Amino acid sequence: MNPNSNYNPVAVDVSKKSLQVQIDERQFEVTNDDKGHASFLKHLKKINNPIVVFEASGGYEKPLKRFLHQSDITVCLVNPRRVRAFAVSEGIKAKTDPIDAMVLMRFAQEKKLNPTKAPSQQQEELAALLDRRSQLSDHLAMEKNRLDKSHKVILPSIKELIDSLEQQINKMESAIRALIKKQNLELAFSKAMKNIDGVGEITAWTILAYMPEMTTLSRNETVAMAGLAPFNRDSGQTQKPRRIFGGRAKVRKCLFMAAQSATRYNPVIQQYVQSLRDRGKPYKCAIVAAMRKLLLHIRTILKNTQKSLA
């Protein structure tokens, strides 16, 4: 039985400059730009209820994804690890663009596909501003680390760049605040999250930008999406420690900092972490548990806020 009987899958292997397209048994290549996207759309219009399947490719897939959503074409963005694991399971070791497109088509035909929802323009802008802020912050940290070990002849240049980076970060943060103020729901969400001890402005922005669907997910789905679900690794009589992996790294990274702050200023989280430590749990294990608890509390707060606004 075809798990995607409602759709006709179209596989696309995305690279920086080209798109390798697989439709049924036919392959062709178009450029990864406006002209190539328009040419691709002409082929899609000849297909009944298509779903375009492609992997996350370090951002090179974003223009195509945006174009297809604007053209009302169903999109499914898949994890490259799943597709590579599928290729290995099929005994396919070679890797070229045509082979990758073929593997992606077979993957789409055999696996159940979940369409990727189109983000709103505000969500795209918020994510872009946060990404840029993160890039600037990383650069700022590197320049500050150079201050103590650089020759005095280049210190003025480093300090000048630090001042410039700090100004740019302030501009990004001002733009984010202005964007959130325009949206009643996001503004309410942001205020509600910041009322939680340990959750600051950056954490609230991160949740809004990178987990906008949180209020529609179950508790288990929320934890798994953030990469905080501990998975079993048992076999026979062997029971190995559970590990977390996968999920949205940007959310997890921010929650790690928030949980550390919450262990100091949030009485509930502080008591929870201390109880785990008293039972002999390692510090990192306790912090990950605190991250889960904090995330689920945020989810509850957002759902209640959404209900009150409705």
Domain ranges of the chain: 8-110, 130-182, 214-309
- pLDDT higher at 120 or 302: 302
Strand arrangement of the beta sheet that strand 26-31 belongs to = 26-31, 18-23, 8-14, 50-55, 74-78
Q: Quick one: pLDDT at residue 175?
A: 96
- Please report the DSSP string for 242-291 in residue order: EE---S-HHHHHHHHHHHHHHHHH-HHHHHHHHHHHHTT--HHHHHHHHH
Taking only the tens place, the pLDDT of each residue in 187-240 is 999 999 999 999 999 999 999 999 998 899 999 999 999 999 887 777 777 777
Q: Name the 3-class secondary structure at 215.
A: helix
| Entry pTM | 0.85
Taking only the tens place, the pLDDT of each residue in 162-190 is 999 999 999 999 999 999 999 888 999 99
Identify the CATH assignment for 8-110 out of 3.30.420.10, 3.20.20.480, 1.10.580.10, 3.40.50.980.
3.30.420.10
Taking only the tens place, the pLDDT of each residue in 80-102 is 999 999 999 999 988 899 999 99
Q: How confident is the model at residue 2 (pLDDT cuts 50, 70, 90)?
A: low
Residue 91 zone, left/alpha/beta (φ > 0; ψ -120 to 50; rest): left
Task: Count the neighbouring beta carbons within 10 Å of the beta carbon of residue 271.
Answer: 11
Question: Which segments of 32-185 are extended strands (E)?
Answer: 50-55, 74-78
Judged against a pLDDT cut of 80, whether residue 244 lies above it is answered with no
Q: Which two tokens stand for residue 238?
A: 């062997």
Low-confidence winner among 23-37, 67-81, 226-240 (lowest mean pLDDT): 226-240
Distance CA 96, CA 300 (A): 46
Q: What is the DSSP letter of 118?
A: P
Q: Quick one: pLDDT at residue 4?
A: 67
Judged against a pLDDT cut of 80, whether residue 5 lies above it is answered with no
Distance CA 14, CA 54 (A): 7
Q: How many CA atoms lie within 13 A of 278 on its CB side?
A: 6
Distance CA 264, CA 269 (A): 8
Q: Please give the single-letter amino acid code of residue 36.
A: G
Q: How confident is the model at residue 310 (pLDDT cuts 50, 70, 90)?
A: confident
Q: Quick one: pLDDT at residue 276?
A: 94
Distance CA 23, CA 201 (A): 46
Q: Quick one: pLDDT at residue 270?
A: 94
Taking only the tens place, the pLDDT of each residue in 262-299 is 999 999 999 999 999 999 999 999 999 999 999 999 99
Taking only the tens place, the pLDDT of each residue in 118-160 is 888 898 999 999 999 999 999 999 999 999 899 999 999 999 9
Residue 59 zone, left/alpha/beta (φ > 0; ψ -120 to 50; rest): left
Chain centroid to CA 299: 17
Q: Quick one: pLDDT at residue 32?
A: 95
- Find residue 221's DSSP bridge partners: none
Nearest to 133 by CA among 173, 102, 104: 173
| CA-to-CA dists, residue 28 to 10, 15, 20, 43, 64, angstroms | 12, 14, 6, 11, 16
Q: Quick one: pLDDT at residue 153?
A: 95
Q: Which two tokens stand for residue 191?
A: 């205020």
Q: Name the 3-class secondary structure at 111.
A: coil
End-to-end CA distance of the chain: 41
Taking only the tens place, the pLDDT of each residue in 47-63 is 999 999 999 888 899 99
* CA 80-52-229 angle, 5° bins: 40
